Amino acid sequence: MKEKEALNPGATMYAHGMQDIDQQAKQTSGNTQESMKKYYDRKATEQPSIEVGDLVMLNAKNLCTKQLSQKLCPKLYGEFKVLERKRCQAYKLEISPG
């Protein structure tokens, strides 16, 4: 696409200045992303693969219980068998009554 000539030379200078600022912002953003990735990857651990039939512990963080004090509730509940994988990190568990 051919660039149109502006009647005002100040407008042309402004447009070129804005293009330079845009390029600098993109480069700085890319550098920031690389830096963040480096620090994240240093601490991140690979998640265990969970297959159908495995026994897993259920995190009680988002469970409602009848306990008066949540501080006294267990952090994890029993071993449950995985029946089905619903989504990426969602599973159907076999929970026996009792």
**Which is it for the CA torsion 24, 26, 29, 30, positive or negative?**
negative
Count of domains for the chain: 2
Helices and strands (H and E) in the chain: how many: 1, 3
Predicted pLDDT of residue 31? 94
Residue 98 has a pLDDT of 54
Within 10 angstroms of residue 93's Cβ, the number of other Cβ atoms is 14
pTM of model > 0.75: no
**Residue 83 neighbours by CB distance under 10 Å:** 13
Residue 88 in domain: yes
Place of tokens 């076999």: 94
41 and 80 inside one domain: no
Share of the chain above pLDDT 90, in %: 50
Model confidence at 6, in pLDDT bands (50, 70, 90)?
Answer: low
Residue 20, domain member (yes or no): yes
Range of the domain at 72: 55-94
Same domain, 4 and 39: yes
Assess if residue 50 is contained within a domain: no
pLDDT at 1 over 70: no
Residue length, the chain? 98
Do 66 and 36 lie in a common domain?
no
Residue-level pLDDT at 94 = 92
Residue 28 shares a structural domain with residue 65: no
On whether residue 14 sits in a domain, the answer given is: yes
Beta carbons of 81 and 93 less than 8 angstroms apart? yes
Q: 46: which 2 tokens?
A: 């690979």
pLDDT tens digits along 34-57: 999 999 999 998 888 899 999 999
- 62 and 38 in a single domain? The answer is no
